[in-house]
Amino acid sequence: MNVTPDPQCKHVRIFKNILILTHRYIGIPLSLFFVMWFVSGFFMIYTGGMPKVTDDMQVAGAEPLDLSQVKFAPAQAASVAGYEPPAALMRTILGRPVYEFGDPGYNNTFVYADTGELMQPLTPEQSIELASRFLAIPASAFHLQQTLEEHTDQWTFTVRRDLPLYKFVVDDGARTEVYVSSKSARVSTYTTRQSRLFAWLGTIPHWLYFESLRDNQRLWTTVVVWSSGIGCVVALLGLCLGLVQFRKVRPFNLQRAIPYKGLMRWHYILGTVFGIVTLTWVFSGLVSMEPWAWTNVRSLKVSPDILTGSELKLQEFPLPDAAALQSATGVPVKQLEFARVLGVPYFIADFVPANAELTAKRDRLHQPYNINGQLQSASLMVDAQTGILHKSFDAAELVSTLDAGVTEASVTESAVLADYDDYYYSRGNQLPLPVLRIKFDDPDQSWLYVDPQRGKLLSLIHKWSRLERWLYNGLHSLDFAFWYHKRPLWDIGMLVLLSGGLGTSLLGLYFGLRRLKADFVFLANKLFGKKFPKDVSHAT
């Protein structure tokens, strides 16, 4: 008896074969990326990002500020610089107090506060002394290895603005390498044998931060976007195969429903169980590259000096009272900032509490929107004209000022938060609290976060950046409030999910390489007329 083939069954078989072949051959090269991403993910949980010198480390490593040496008032020093700076601070460089005047788009200008002379870029010898004091390592242990003039290396692409850099190797047990910026008179970054190893195991392979690739921003972006985009396709195809390959058996029997044996069976099970989180991880990695430029939406227009009242006006700042500042902090002041808030001039004295440690805090890498004020050392504000210690600004006054200064929208809601919310948060309390959150009625539903203690704008986010926060941080770091701050609960969950994804990827890589071997042997035998070996003919 002749049986007519069912066209529908034929189409189903063709569809399944297309899924299998596409998943297999696209997955062979992508499985290398998946293995690299998952392995490096384990290290990134505990080692953070690239080696860096954070703002609080700069303050902690700085020399104490001896205000008794200061002979020139801020306005006098600004006249030497030749312009009215929008930002200014005072710090110690090689034992001398120096005014540092900032001007966006230009190099900072340095004027000695004791003599009123312009400071020139550091020489290699001065840079050694600066690094020696910063790291508390004898200057004799430093040796100049090279000068980075126009191009950065593996460890300095994040501080490209600090070029030129002197690179020193240090004769110490940690095999320290130090980069000093001659123009900014700071230790831009430094690495140790351990921090370099952790970076090579974590951040570098995870974000493809290889020097030759990262040096070309456009190429690096293209590679990351395309690899993660194709990775999404591979993961999605794997999930589809998990569904279509699952057999419908009566009565139901799980062992018979899974059509594979041996290691292939485990690849199927792990891929089905952990496939969704694998897809969300690679998709959120794609989102981190901002392929849709959501964070570039114009949003609300807020002037950066909306809370200052006007430009800095250094003529309003007298010589600082050394005794008063010392009495207020109880420890040596490391840095003195000049700020203007609501029309009043203030000194902001940065210092290091007696129990503080010089550590590189790393938190929320590649966050989808900027938050100022992260990783700040301890500080206090003093009214520059009265010398009175300032504790906090009135929240209602800040809201009123912002409501009046933003002409294209009105305030709809404001609240002082004593704890973090879903969009302003950090692990380890690295962002200032309390924080003032202000919502506006503009089309992009903008929110402003303000530090009420310093009268400082911290962040401006809109509905698209809030969406990206969930699509990136939410899906990639799984930083949901119910467990993110409850370690080791979050650690256990992440390690289990990473292990499942890694197991799936390793098995996929194994079968992919096995299939390549089978295809190569088959092709060679076809070309040279030899018998195809049976031991690889069944590779999948």
Residue 392 above 80 pLDDT?
yes
Residue 291 above 70 pLDDT?
yes
Domain boundary among 435, 450, 484: 484
Lowest mean pLDDT among 131-135, 152-156, 477-481, 525-529: 525-529
Q: Is residue 327 part of a domain?
A: yes
% of the chain at pLDDT higher than 70: 90
Number of structural domains in the chain: 2
What value does the mean pLDDT take over residues 99-105? 87
Cα separation of the two ends of the chain: 35
Alpha helix segments (H runs only) across 121-261: 124-135, 193-201, 203-206, 211-214, 217-244, 254-257
Q: Is residue 77 part of a domain?
A: yes
Q: Which domain, by its residues, includes 160?
A: 55-197
% of the chain at pLDDT higher than 90: 59
pLDDT at 355: 58
Residues 480 and 343 in one domain: yes
The larger pLDDT score, comparing residue 364 to residue 465, is at 465
pLDDT at 260: 85
pLDDT at 539: 44
Residues 319 and 445 in one domain: yes
Q: What is the pLDDT of residues 472-510, one digit of tens each?
A: 989 999 988 888 888 899 999 999 999 999 999 999 999
Q: Is residue 397 part of a domain?
A: yes
pLDDT at 301: 87
What value does the mean pLDDT take over residues 177-187? 96
Dihedral sign of CA atoms 277, 281, 283, 284 in order: positive
pLDDT at 365: 41
Dihedral sign of CA atoms 341, 343, 344, 349 in order: positive
Q: Is residue 213 part of a domain?
A: no
The CA distance from 417 to 287, in Å, is 29
Residue 538 above 50 pLDDT?
no
Residues 318 and 463 in one domain: yes
What value does the mean pLDDT take over residues 32-38? 95
Query: Residue 354 — pLDDT band, cuts 50, 70, 90?
Result: low
Burial 82-121 (b: 16+ CB within 10 A, else e): eebbeebbbbbbeebbbbbbeeeeeebbbbbbeeeeebee
Q: Is residue 540 part of a domain?
A: no
Q: Quick one: 321 exposed, middle or buried, by C-beta within 10 A (0-12, 13-18, 19+)?
A: middle
pLDDT at 107: 86
Query: Residue 116 — pLDDT band, cuts 50, 70, 90?
Result: very high
Q: Is residue 470 part of a domain?
A: yes
The CA distance from 152 to 290, in Å, is 24
pLDDT at 358: 47
The larger pLDDT score, comparing residue 367 to residue 323, is at 323
Q: Is residue 245 part of a domain?
A: no
Residue 534 above 70 pLDDT?
no
Domain boundary among 484, 508, 528: 484
Q: Are 355 and 428 in contact (CB under 8 A)?
A: no
Q: Is residue 78 part of a domain?
A: yes
Residues 177 and 323 in one domain: no
Respond yes or no on whether the N-terminal peptide bond of residue 443 is cis (omega within 30° of 0).
no
Residue 532 above 60 pLDDT?
no
Q: What is the pLDDT of residues 256-273, one digit of tens each?
A: 788 888 999 999 999 999
The CA distance from 409 to 397, in Å, is 18
Return all residues near 30 (Cβ < 8 A) that are at least 6 apart.
227, 230, 231, 234
Average pLDDT, the chain: 87
The larger pLDDT score, comparing residue 298 to residue 29, is at 29
pLDDT at 497: 96
Domain boundary among 159, 175, 197: 197
Return all residues near 408 (Cβ < 8 A) that are at least 6 apart.
300, 301, 442
